[in-house]
Structure 1
Amino acid sequence: MALVSAMALFDTIGPSPFLDGFTLRDFTPPGGPRIRFAVAGEGPPLLLLHGHPQTHVTWRKIAPALARRFTVVAMDLRGYGDSAKPEGGADHVNYSKREMARDPVALMAALGFRRFDVAGHDRGGRVAHRMALDHPDAVRRLAVFDIAPTATMYARTDKDFATRYFWWFFLIQPHPFPERLIASDPEYFLRTHIDGQSKTPGATESEAFAEYLRCYSDPATRHAICEDYRAAAGIDLDHDAADAGTRVQAPVLALWGALGTVGRTYDVLETWRDKAVEVSGRALDCGHTLQEERPEEVLDELLAFFGG
């Protein structure tokens, strides 16, 4: 299916105010939640998945350049940004990475792309990891930013990690405890979270922060985020345990911030070589949000890895 004809399947929102040259659209897969995404470019398909507490806007510094080589699709994960926010369901199953991975696979298929490259930061990297396991025919190459595998990070938890990544243990508390506490001052929580993880002052400009805050100010978003983390500490670990003997077949590029918690806590390449057959990567001189802190280096790495 050609991209132009496929666009008839989607609701057009308008030009993206953050990703130059991109158009915002909505897609609702059968039986799935409505997904907001930005799309531009021509060439091989490349999917970009954001993390917490960002949205697809986190790719604003590199997506336009990537769109000169690729058809770039940057989407808001379910529960985040302007995508729909379904209820969590039993065992928070609707925010399991298995369910969250179905959305981008359906979106890319509707765009005419049965096989594509994917780059995921933070939570988006965890969704992409599960996607590569559950949909190996769909993922050609996989890039993950500033994460070690979820099961590995929980298994190796110690006081230092629990202190640095306190939200992994705060957000999983039963509803409505974390939701109500964050509701008392969402801007303070968001600012503290972003500033604590970024090691590059000004990397998240005031306009981008305001956009993240707009989304984070929605109680449904905050609840969905907690459900995402609750799933990660429960049903996702069950899925990972069931697949413990399965390795990602797609080549994996792991990039991380040398100044961040992941880079200081783990041998990142070693953690991924336990989960995938082919792994390469390196540290960048920054904190957690590589694409915002070191966009030019990230762009070079992705162009080389994805063959742009």
Structure 2
Amino acid sequence: MTKALFEGFEEKRIVLPTGVAIHARVGGEGPPVLLLHGYPQTSACWHAVAPKLVAAGFKVIAPDLRGYGASDRPSSSSDHMTYSKRAMASDQIELMLQLGHERFCLAGHDRGGRVAHRLALDHPAAVERIAVLDIAPTATMYANTDRDFATGYYHWFFLIQPSPLPEKLIGADPEFYLRSKLAAWGKSGSEVFMKEAVAEYCRAFRDPACIAATCEDYRAAASIDLEHDLADAHRRIEMPLLVLWGTKGLVGRLYDVVSVWREKASNVTGRGLSVGHFLPEEAPLETAEALVEFFWEHRQGREND
């Protein structure tokens, strides 16, 4: 792992009761904050945000989602349940319990935001506050598919094709594919991506099992996750929700982000940042400040109880 990215953090490999091992970076003291990364990245994407949260008085836990980074890549199932957001959220609950945290604040970018959404629905007692970065709800995005969405996020439809088509095509040159995603979705130039972080992304993505697992993540999103979302269509997230998005990215361009999340949550605040998709790397200071302010309200509330 790239320890230089997270100076002062401890790297842990924690085996969950399911037998799945999750790699996590842990640093700081104080109220716990769980940070979940997105595609096609690892927990390294938080390298510029996590230390700022630690400096603000939080304990930060930044894991690699199952299938990603240095976490295990369990074999999938025909119904894609293995990579459902429900299964991935359960990983995070078990991880936090093993680290001694029954309740915590939560932030997720991209796929991590979708895991966070499901975690807040399935385990509401565990989540004090939740932030999602540069996503609209999965069901909303699929229901409103148009040419702009399909063009900008073609990978949503490419990765869900039956195995092994996308796996073989990506596997022919995985580093080119990964770097093309960073270039297409980021709007701040390649220099915002720290070379050590990109090297970690590439190292993980060279593993065919990682490519297969990440495809399964998207196949689950287009199948079993939608079934779970439909079953919970009447439910709303009740804890405070912060939404952040890049105004230069597709989500910011196609959606009234706060409004679509108010269809899913009772207490929503948010704002756009003048960047593309990768907020933790394109706007780390602004992202960290927004998270600290949002989570600090929770911390102050606890101290005043």
Give the counterpart letter for 2:223 in structure 1: G
Look up the match of 1:217. 206
Look up the match of 1:193. 181
Paired residue for 2:112, among 101, 117, 124?
124
Paired residue for 2:51, among 24, 45, 64?
64
Q: Percent identity?
A: 55
Matched, 1:21 2:8: yes
**CA root-mean-square deviation:** 1.0
CA shift for structure 1 position 206 = 2.2
Paired with 1:20 and 1:198, the residues of 2 have a C-alpha distance of: 25
Paired with 1:266 and 1:302, the residues of 2 have a C-alpha distance of: 22
Paired with 2:18 and 2:24, the residues of 1 have a C-alpha distance of: 18
5 Å-filtered alignment, 1:100-115, equals 100-115=88-103
Paired residue for 2:259, among 248, 254, 270?
270
Give the counterpart letter for 1:27 in structure 2: I
5 Å-filtered alignment, 1:5-154, equals 16-68=3-55, 69-154=57-142
Matched, 1:177 2:165: yes
CA shift for structure 1 position 15 = 8.3
Paired with 1:208 and 1:129, the residues of 2 have a C-alpha distance of: 25
What do the CA deviations read for 1:65-107 (whole angstroms, capped 9, x no partner)?
Answer: 2112111000000000000000111311010000000011111
Look up the match of 2:302. none
CA shift for structure 1 position 162 = 0.2
CA contact (8 A) 1:215 1:221 kept: yes
CA contact (8 A) 2:38 2:111 kept: yes
Give the counterpart letter for 1:66 in structure 2: L
Give the counterpart letter for 1:228 in structure 2: D
Look up the match of 1:239. 228
What do the CA deviations read for 1:137-188 (whole angstroms, capped 9, x no partner)?
Answer: 0011000000000000000000110010000000000000000000111111
CA shift for structure 1 position 20 = 1.6
Q: Give the secondary-structure state (helix, strand or coil) at the position aligned to 1:304.
A: helix
What do the CA deviations read for 1:187-232 (whole angstroms, capped 9, x no partner)?
Answer: 1111111100000111112222111100010000000000000000
Give the counterpart letter for 1:296 in structure 2: L
What do the CA deviations read for 1:206-260 (whole angstroms, capped 9, x no partner)?
Answer: 2221111000100000000000000000000000000000001111000000000
Where structure 2 has 5 or more consecutive residues not aligned to the other structure, the ranges are 300-305
Q: TM-score, normalised by structure 1?
A: 0.94
Matched, 1:281 2:258: no
Look up the match of 1:204. 193
Paired with 2:152 and 2:178, the residues of 1 have a C-alpha distance of: 15
CA contact (8 A) 2:2 2:200 kept: no
Where structure 1 has 5 or more consecutive residues not aligned to the other structure, the ranges are 1-13
Paired with 1:20 and 1:305, the residues of 2 have a C-alpha distance of: 24
Look up the match of 1:248. 237
Q: Give the secondary-structure state (helix, strand or coil) at the position aligned to 1:287.
A: coil
Q: Give the secondary-structure state (helix, strand or coil) at the position aligned to 1:173.
A: coil
What do the CA deviations read for 1:46-65 (whole angstroms, capped 9, x no partner)?
Answer: 00000001100000001112
Give the counterpart letter for 2:5 in structure 1: F
What do the CA deviations read for 1:90-137 (whole angstroms, capped 9, x no partner)?
Answer: 311010000000011111111111010000000000000000000000
Q: Give the secondary-structure state (helix, strand or coil) at the position aligned to 1:157.
A: coil
Look up the match of 1:304. 293
Paired with 1:40 and 1:51, the residues of 2 have a C-alpha distance of: 20
CA shift for structure 1 position 32 = 3.8
CA contact (8 A) 2:2 2:197 kept: no
CA shift for structure 1 position 17 = 3.0
Matched, 1:168 2:156: yes
Q: Give the secondary-structure state (helix, strand or coil) at the position aligned to 1:17.
A: helix
Look up the match of 2:303. none
CA shift for structure 1 position 266 = 0.4
Give the counterpart letter for 1:163 in structure 2: T
Q: Whose helix fraction is larger, Structure 1's or Structure 2's? A: 2
Look up the match of 1:3. none
